[in-house]
Structures are given as C-alpha cells and as structure tokens.
Amino acid sequence: MLKPIRDAMNGVFTSYDSLADALLKAAPSLDWPARRSLSAKIGDLDRGARTWWQRRPEQRKALLELLKIPDADIGLHERTSERNAYHFEDFPELPPLHLAREAALRIGRAVADDPLGDTQRLENWLDYTPDGLTRRKPLTGITWLQMADGTGRGLLLAELAAKGGFDVIRVRKLSDVGSRLENPKPLVIKLEEQANTSDLRPLLKRPSDASLLIVASTPFKRCSHGSF
C-alpha cells in the first residue's frame, strides 16, 4: 500500500508527531486539533482516510506546502472554478473532468422501450466532438430518457450543457418549467418526480417542430389511447 506522507517525509521528519509539530509552527493561525490528534489525522492520509483534510483546504494546503507535494499525491485534487469542470463528489480521488475538452467514457447505450422506438433520436443529442464543436443532426420532437439512480444522470446533463450548449433545467414536475416550454430552442429537462398522465399535459405547449429531451429515473407514462 502506498504511503504518500511517509514517502514525502523523506527523512526530514522522523515521525507523524514531528511533522505535526512542524505543521503547528508553520501555520499557527489555522484551527488545528491537539498535537496528538493532528498526528493521527496525518497518519490517516497514509491509510487512505482523507475526509478531514478534504473538508479543510487551508490545513491541507499548509501540510502539502510543508511536504512540497501536490494534492494529487495524497489522492485529492484542488477544486477548480472552471465553468465546465465536473467533480466526482463521491470519488474525491478522481481528478475533475473538463467537459469542454474531454469526453466521458461511454459504458452503455440507449435502448428503445418498444420495437418501433428510434434510438437515433437520443444519439442526435449526443452527437458532438470532444472539442465541443457540434456536428448535430436536426433535433425534433420529444425524447424521454429513463436513467436509474446511480447511472450517471448528473454527468450526462453536465455534458449536454458543456458540449452541446443546451439549456439544462432541473424541476420537480413539468408544470414547473412554465413558459420555457413554449420557446422552440432545444431544451433538456431533468425531472425529479415521477410523472403521471395528467402531469404530462404541459408538454402540449411545446411547438411541434421543437426538440425536448427529458431525463428521468422513471419511465414515460403512456395512456391507453396514445395521447397525454
């Protein structure tokens, strides 16, 4: 197992205790725990426990400057203010994905829920190059994409906004979208709640030649007579 702190100490500091002492002297104005507790938290980094340091960027910066190592050496990455940087909140060890210039790995594909379904309609939404230059085919109609929790909805929506340049909005129910549905500009909606048949009526406001992508965790509710 890698021990980034032990490796960085490199004989300059003989123990976690001595490193804690040096850290307290180097940055006395910061809010530190007691020496013994700080020593234990430094050791936690070599055991892969990073939460305390991740939540305290100033203390982490002081430690890394003392050891002369970057965040990446301890499995963390500085948060960037870049607009299209996507941070993996559940995996802080991963560097942010810069969606304006990097492509996310595709681990699945859309499948139509009936034999007559058109999966190409979704592919048209995703038809862009990694450098952000779209080569999109004309988008028309309403596309409903069901994605279960934990399958990357957030990343997909961030990609569509960064690379496709689409307006992406998040709402509890479709009626919350309001007059934006009447605007023919392509729109992506993240729907938070399951939509019943009556909840779909706001879609009738959408111009017939406009494109709309709805991303939800639940399937599209069809009426027996085929209308909203």
Q: From CA 204, how far away is CA 42, in angstroms rounded?
A: 59
Of 127, 154, 130, 131, whose CA–CA distance to 211 is shortest? 127
Domain boundaries, the chain: 4-74, 120-216
Q: From CA 3, how far away is CA 32, in angstroms rounded?
A: 23
Q: Note the pLDDT tens digit of each residue in 63-103.
A: 999 998 887 777 665 554 456 677 776 766 667 777 767 77
DSSP for 121-185 reads HHHHHT-B-TTS-B-PPPP-EEEEEE--TTSSHHHHHHHHHHTS--EEEEESSGGGGGGGGGS-S
Task: With cut-offs at 50, 70 and 90, classify the pLDDT of residue 138.
Answer: low
Q: DSSP state, 6?
A: H
Q: Which pTM does this prediction carry?
A: 0.57
Q: Note the pLDDT tens digit of each residue in 172-218.
A: 888 888 888 888 888 899 988 777 666 778 888 888 778 888 998 88
Task: With cut-offs at 50, 70 and 90, classify the pLDDT of residue 156.
Answer: confident
Q: DSSP state, 206?
A: S
Of 160, 169, 149, 172, whose CA–CA distance to 86 is shortest? 160
* Mean residue pLDDT across the chain: 78
Q: Evaluate whether 204 touches 223 at the Cβ level (below 8 Å).
A: no
DSSP for 31-83 reads ----HHHHHHHHHHHHTT--HHHHT-HHHHHHHHHHHT--GGGGT-------T
